[in-house]
């Protein structure tokens, strides 16, 4: 189970990283290195007909670093320094790369290098991804003390670094810059210059939602019902159990609801139902409402065994005639004594009685 959860979290992080790379104009090969996703998967799932991947090979070349102008060298050094500060704080390299490049774009009017080139710099700086060894390092200038990029093992030049050499006063001419990336975002301040396919956003949201319900202890069949995903095959459940409301294990006892269900549990179910109906009235989506109601009520009873999420889902589905329930099997009644609302089964053979009154009379018995 732990391995399955870890794989799900890794997949979500990979897709979110791919989304950010697309926004920054990365090519497929760069995204594949950063996320570990196959290039075929990236082509078919990260892009679509309206959002085609950038053409051409990624500009992975050392000429970008050693033959560019002093201005570009200074900007690359600024980016690399920001990246190193982030990794020193414990941020993962992929996220540090994305954050550092965003920071770089936010402080320059026109970026001088693309995200693919920034990826190449980081790869050679740490010996990861596209580089098997470290071929670059950050060193402090002997004159001004600023960090700048040097070949690995080389000593800082006596003449200074790209920041402090005196002959550079204006922005370098175009012939001294690397070839511009036509697919990269043009503006350093417009983070939405490259849009992301709606299908990718929807896939990430769906995986996030599934993960949230799994963390609450939801059964895969319940998760599939709430998210609209394909229902997993459960060979242990017969076709009789798969008809009607989605449930795990034996269905809730509607005929003996007031007797078979413990008093404190009926109070918890009632509070979940009340919170759920209020959230629906506030225009929450049903799946979001049942999740929020469950989390809210679970925090109200720290000393009592929490309700299983699957059972709460089953009760709510039969209250709201939703998720496989053809009709409502519960009512929210108002107690004439304590004026609290409580759940009552329409099929209960016993007369409905309020669980909150019992809790108020003898709390030490139930709590």
Q: Name the pTM for this structure.
A: 0.69
Judge whether 189 lies within some domain: no
Residues 251 and 345 in one domain: yes
178-189: pLDDT as tens digits: 444 544 444 444
Q: At what angle do helices 93-107 and 115-126 cross, to 10 degrees?
A: 130
How many other β-carbons are positioned within 10 Å of the β-carbon of residue 319? 20
Whether residue 53 has pLDDT greater than 70: yes
Q: Is residue 343 part of a domain?
A: yes
Distance between CA atoms of 111 and 185, rounded to whole angstroms?
A: 9
pLDDT of 166: 61
Q: Same domain for 117 and 199?
A: no
Helices vs strands, H then E, count in the chain: 16, 4
- pLDDT for 7 beyond 80: no
104 part of a folded domain: yes
User: pLDDT confidence of 47, banded at 50, 70, 90?
Assistant: confident
293 neighbors 276 (Cβ within 8 angstroms) = yes
Long-range contacts of 209-215 (CB under 8 A, 24+ apart): 209/287, 210/8, 211/8, 211/9, 211/12, 212/291, 213/291, 213/309, 214/5, 214/8
In a domain, 236, yes or no: no
**149 and 38 assigned to the same domain:** no
**C-alpha gyration radius of the chain:** 29
pLDDT in tens, 253-286: 999 999 999 999 999 999 999 999 999 999 999 9
* Inside any domain, residue 238: no
pLDDT at 243: 56
Q: What is the pLDDT of residue 285?
A: 94
pLDDT at 184: 47
61-108 pLDDT tens trace: 766 777 788 888 999 999 999 999 999 999 999 999 999 999 999 999
Query: Tell me, what's the pLDDT at 234?
Result: 53
- Residue range(s) defining the domain that contains residue 135: 63-176
Whether 259 and 320 map to the same domain: the answer is yes
Q: Is residue 181 part of a domain?
A: no
Higher pLDDT, 214 or 58: 214
What pLDDT is attached to residue 248? Answer: 67
At residue 233, the pLDDT reads 54
Structure tokens at 109: 């009017």
pLDDT of residue 201: 86
Give pLDDT, residue 244: 59
Regarding whether 258 and 342 lie in a shared domain, the answer is yes
Of the pLDDT bands very low, low, confident and very high (cuts 50, 70, 90), residue 316 is: very high
Q: Is the pLDDT score of 171 beyond 80?
A: no
Average pLDDT over residues 104-127: 94
Residue 169 has pLDDT above 70, yes or no: no
Is the domain of 6 the same as that of 99? no
Query: Which band of pLDDT confidence, cut at 50, 70 and 90, is reported for residue 367?
Result: low
Q: Total domain count for the chain?
A: 3
Say if 345 falls within a structural domain: yes
Supply the mean pLDDT for the chain: 85
Q: What percent of the chain has pLDDT over 90?
A: 57
265 and 146 within one domain: no
Q: Is 90 exposed, middle or buried (0-12, 13-18, 19+ CB in 10 A)?
A: exposed
**Domain for residue 335, yes or no?**
yes
Q: What angle separates helix 93-107 from helix 70-88, to the nearest 10 degrees?
A: 140
């Amino acid at each position: 189970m732990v391995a399955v959860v870890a794989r799900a979290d890794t997949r979500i992080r990979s897709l979110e990283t791919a989304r950010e790379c697309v926004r920054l104009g990365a090519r497929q090969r760069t995204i594949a290195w950063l996320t570990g996703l196959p290039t075929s998967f990236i082509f078919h799932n990260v892009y679509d007909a309206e959002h085609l991947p950038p053409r051409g090979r990624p500009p992975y070349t050392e000429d970008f670093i050693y033959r560019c102008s002093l201005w570009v060298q200074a900007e690359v050094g600024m980016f690399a320094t920001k990246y190193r500060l982030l990794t020193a704080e414990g941020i993962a390299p992929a996220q540090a790369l994305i954050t550092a490049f965003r920071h770089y774009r936010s402080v320059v009017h026109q970026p001088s290098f693309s995200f693919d080139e920034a990826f190449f710099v980081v790869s050679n700086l740490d010996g990861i991804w596209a580089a098997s060894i470290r071929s670059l390092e950050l060193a402090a200038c002997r004159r001004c003390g600023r960090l700048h990029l040097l070949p690995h093992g080389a000593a800082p030049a006596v003449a200074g670094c790209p920041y402090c050499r005196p002959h550079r006063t204006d922005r370098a001419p175009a012939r001294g810059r690397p070839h511009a990336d036509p697919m990269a975002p043009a503006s350093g301040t417009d983070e939405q210059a490259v849009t992301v396919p709606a299908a990718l956003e929807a896939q990430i949201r769906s995986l996030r939602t599934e993960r949230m319900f799994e963390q609450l202890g939801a059964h895969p069949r319940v998760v599939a019902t709430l998210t609209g995903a394909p229902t997993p095959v459960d060979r242990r459940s017969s076709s009789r159990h798969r008809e009607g409301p989605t449930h795990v294990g034996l269905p809730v006892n509607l005929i003996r609801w007031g007797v078979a269900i413990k008093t404190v549990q009926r109070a918890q179910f009632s509070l979940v139902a009340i919170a759920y109906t209020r959230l629906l009235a506030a225009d929450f989506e049903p799946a979001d409402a049942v999740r929020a109601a469950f989390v809210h009520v679970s925090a109200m009873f720290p000393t009592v065994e929490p309700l299983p999420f699957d059972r709460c889902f089953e009760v709510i589905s039969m209250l709201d005639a939703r998720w496989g329930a053809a009709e409502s099997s519960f009512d929210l009644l108002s107690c004439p004594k304590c004026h609290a609302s409580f759940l009552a089964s329409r099929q209960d053979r016993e007369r409905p009685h309020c669980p909150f009154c019992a809790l108020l009379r003898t709390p030490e018995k139930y709590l």
